[in-house]
Structure 1
């Protein structure tokens, strides 16, 4: 929510600006079962439909808070839900497809710390190193303020030097709940 508020306060320049609110969620491979989990293929159609319905309702409830904030600020908004196990790749694809010029990524301080210490690369780092980042300006927001990637790395582990904190390239992480970005307004040429 802090990233959304920051984007609304700092990047919305006109009533024609359209803000996309995206939520990337993991692919559903397992369905909860009273005795554990079943693979999606082994679960009955009824079990799959019931679980998917519950998950859609959770996403709807989560996104309603963000949509209400946009509505209260009189911001045009569209939501995009993407099922993917790679948040960074999903966003990189959307940058290209939607011609995104400004991307705002919200990062939680505790998740940023866990991401660097435990797994390696964070989503902002993966996106900023990609060719998609050349198409847009990427802003990382933590606790309502813009931070640099060096600051994000310091949040991850203040006891290590920035060089020692550099994550390995082969370990992507998803420390985000929701991500918002703004597309370039279409002009008639």
Structure 2
């Protein structure tokens, strides 16, 4: 079988997919002619698209995980709408006492704390010397009222670095509020 090597734009990908017998034939053709190499110009475009697709897939898996909790706890909230309306890095699901029952990987990336470490703790472990009492007080009041809200709070990463976090908290309701979901992202 003869291959037109002049028409192959991505020789390394092509070669990696050949059987040993076919690769031997192609190798002899390559050695008998000069092949003009082309710079790899499209890798950055490919990676941008791949990164976007990966991020979309991760968000879909996270949404599906939360929808699984919704089914288990019979939440009546429109969580598909909540996901479409809220941009986030970290997702946290807490019970009524604000004990964390689940976080996504984005939580670990944003804070430096592992998912395992966060389990059964309240988000208070993220607060530190730069966390403002006013922010904490407003969040406590809105949690007690069990209403959706958005707040900025200064939290602290595992390494001690302070960061401003936008928190959107929504009560999760079956017959009554049973849990809360927090959509969080670091803001500058």
Give the number of the structure with larger relative contact order, counting CA–CA contacts within 8 Å between residues 6 or more apart. 1
Give the TM-score, by structure 2 length.
0.31
Give the TM-score, by structure 1 length.
0.31
